Structure 1
């Protein structure tokens, strides 16, 4: 049994950060009921890439969830949401600050519905401050938070990170906070100790990712700049050409440096006073990198990868995702799961990244069709079929089982 198998979470989040949070919790067994707008659905359902009518963007972060589609602008729709919240452990949302309250779900109302409910919120800029009312999306936050300023070639004005790193890490941060609140709720000695709300923002999470570069700027004013493919603090650590294709090498310790020079047959580099310490090597990075490239270009990538890893130096090729998914190591880890959507279409999807007692968390539910599980969820609430049929007829409950509708 997975550790969160007794936990039910109502998921009002959309797009990426919130759904990534709930996907991680679903991997651990939480019953995630994804509540979508009956009028439009999760907007990610309309984003490429597509397989037929299915958005693979949506599929990538909605494994192991169930979907119910409600008209939340109607009294009947919010009445259903009320009942869902009354039986839930947590609510996850990523609206702009104040949106949930504008829907009628103030902190007081939520407490009235369910005193044990924990609300996890992911916003763009946080609940307070001069930017809090702005809409925030990943690439914009990368720019505003400083991430863009340290990314890309050394002579560039900044690049976005190739993946939506702020959305993804914000979702992870929210999941950690929600898990802590759930644990605290079970261990609290008094109701006054209850944590009712967990919140993070893309901006806060992005700043936390600055780590040593941000710390340097904060402490001594050393504003970091883009370093291309070189590590900003450690040398040699980056991309190097070989006779066949580039490789990434990471030489981080004195023993690494000794073994690296031995493997390259470069005693002169080890003896050169310009490269004695890590600090020395970083100060003379350009000269050292050129000398290393001259040596590495005498052999092919595979030979260097084998030789350097054999002496404990991290080294690898630059793979595209086609190569990654075909790699035997990916298969050995069981990272790819074969599943079947509710409309009968096949889907290969990545599992979550965790293993428990050596067993990988799997994919026990495919990404849901739009409103696929609505009737099942309402039956669990005790609604008779006649009432469910009325909700469908009145447009309050959208989507039907196995229709394949992918709003």
Structure 2
């Protein structure tokens, strides 16, 4: 039975050939908004990298692969590819994150898929792109963080390069791939034709560098490490209080004036060399030294209350458990309840997109590999006897 999390994309069928993080992130977005996402798993013992993503009902798989159905299929065998091509003929999207040469060897390249279904949209996510000198290199998130410049601007000045604490390149590759798929689907409404959507960890990481990358491309400046301070706006970053740390963000000259009133230093408003943002940036170290003893005179809660009253941007710095007990986070419903057959009642991370009529939802946990074999194969016209033969031959 088709799983329906939303009506937004419930007219679409997606064949999910992905694993690890970038591809599953893309497919999760489509599944949460109602697409019939069929996760194609390898039969047990066939994949040499089986288990690379951790336990099937571990926290990562439960969060990444909810709202999907699963079929096991040996795509290296002719019978398995025949089943896949029959499914492909009436599907809308295929998502894969093989190395480029792998899908070519398996006959799952875009031209082969297009010959069966000209309306198909193939979304390919790779480490370094589908063409070029690095196209066959295996890629992981941290490799892309290093090559894409993120590690070069992260960490305290003068310290070794530092990775971000999350899989920035992986996750954003999945988001960019989903965006490309939706663009291709919208264009297909006009042309009637599918197309090949491509992104990579390296491209996505560079895109996420955004203003830091533009700083080099436009002004030819190499951004240095800035630690917990904003690289160009002052004062903005982490400050030490009497009992911990908070973030502050003084983004403009009017906020600077409100900030000075909040810290009971209105005299700083009259200091000409601090009046403009560009001036404050030039005197960054001086301002930081001036503010450090002031912030240590009050608790984090006191400062946050003062800044909120004055409309000065500021916020607490949470560990993950504190994130989900914050009243605003609770109000937004970011943690979504889910029942998993092995883990019982758990919560997963919901979609950060609010839709007024067709919201995303989470209705089922990660399926066991091949859980929907019979159901899906029946839908595509395969008989019970033929399904039994596929199982005997370890095709499913």
- The secondary structure found in structure 2 opposite 1:149 is helix
* d(CA) in 2 for partners of 1:375, 1:291: 70
* Offset at residue 143 of structure 1 (A): 0.5
Confirm or deny: 8 A CA contact 1:44 1:57 kept in the other structure. Answer: no
1:176 is aligned to 2:179: yes
Deviation readout 1:356-391 (Å, 9 max, x if unpaired): 107752101212222222221112112122222222
Confirm or deny: 8 A CA contact 2:120 2:194 kept in the other structure. Answer: no
Match of 2:361 in 1: 362
* d(CA) in 2 for partners of 1:364, 1:159: 38
* d(CA) in 2 for partners of 1:76, 1:339: 36
* Offset at residue 41 of structure 1 (A): 6.3
- The secondary structure found in structure 2 opposite 1:235 is coil
- The secondary structure found in structure 2 opposite 1:134 is coil
Confirm or deny: 8 A CA contact 1:245 1:300 kept in the other structure. Answer: yes
Confirm or deny: 8 A CA contact 1:338 1:348 kept in the other structure. Answer: yes
Two-structure CA RMSD over aligned residues (Å): 1.9
Match of 2:190 in 1: 187
Matches within 5 A, 1:30-109: 30-38=35-43, 39=45, 45-47=51-53, 54-109=57-112
Judging changes above 3 Å, is the alpha-carbon distance between structure 1 residues 242 and 44 closer, same or farther for their aligned structure 2 residues?
farther
Confirm or deny: 8 A CA contact 2:8 2:359 kept in the other structure. Answer: no
Match of 2:133 in 1: 130
Confirm or deny: 8 A CA contact 2:248 2:315 kept in the other structure. Answer: yes
Counterpart selection for 2:17 from 12, 15, 18: 12
Judging changes above 3 Å, is the alpha-carbon distance between structure 1 residues 326 and 44 closer, same or farther for their aligned structure 2 residues?
farther
How many residue pairs were aligned? 390
Confirm or deny: 8 A CA contact 1:35 1:70 kept in the other structure. Answer: yes
Confirm or deny: 8 A CA contact 1:149 1:225 kept in the other structure. Answer: yes
* d(CA) in 2 for partners of 1:78, 1:211: 41
* d(CA) in 2 for partners of 1:258, 1:341: 52
1:152 is aligned to 2:155: yes
- The secondary structure found in structure 1 opposite 2:347 is strand
* d(CA) in 2 for partners of 1:44, 1:77: 18
* d(CA) in 2 for partners of 1:87, 1:212: 42
* d(CA) in 2 for partners of 1:250, 1:41: 49
* Offset at residue 95 of structure 1 (A): 1.1
* d(CA) in 2 for partners of 1:343, 1:144: 39
* Offset at residue 118 of structure 1 (A): 0.7
Larger mean CA deviation between 341-350 and 114-123 belongs to 341-350
1:247 is aligned to 2:246: yes
* d(CA) in 2 for partners of 1:178, 1:373: 25
Match of 2:218 in 1: 219
So what's the TM-score if we normalise by structure 2? 0.93
* Offset at residue 42 of structure 1 (A): 10
Judging changes above 3 Å, is the alpha-carbon distance between structure 1 residues 344 and 252 closer, same or farther for their aligned structure 2 residues?
closer
| Structure 1 unaligned residues grouped into runs of 5+ | 398-407
* Offset at residue 124 of structure 1 (A): 0.9
Deviation readout 1:382-401 (Å, 9 max, x if unpaired): 2122222222222111xxxx
Match of 2:165 in 1: 162
Confirm or deny: 8 A CA contact 1:15 1:43 kept in the other structure. Answer: no
* d(CA) in 1 for partners of 2:251, 2:97: 39
Matches within 5 A, 1:333-348: 333-342=332-341, 345-348=344-347
| Structure 2 unaligned residues grouped into runs of 5+ | 1-5
* Offset at residue 19 of structure 1 (A): 0.5
* d(CA) in 1 for partners of 2:47, 2:276: 57
- The secondary structure found in structure 1 opposite 2:160 is coil
Judging changes above 3 Å, is the alpha-carbon distance between structure 1 residues 131 and 95 closer, same or farther for their aligned structure 2 residues?
same
Deviation readout 1:104-126 (Å, 9 max, x if unpaired): 12333212211111101111111
Match of 1:371 in 2: 370
Confirm or deny: 8 A CA contact 1:93 1:120 kept in the other structure. Answer: yes
1:283 is aligned to 2:282: yes
- The secondary structure found in structure 1 opposite 2:237 is strand
Larger mean CA deviation between 168-177 and 37-46 belongs to 37-46
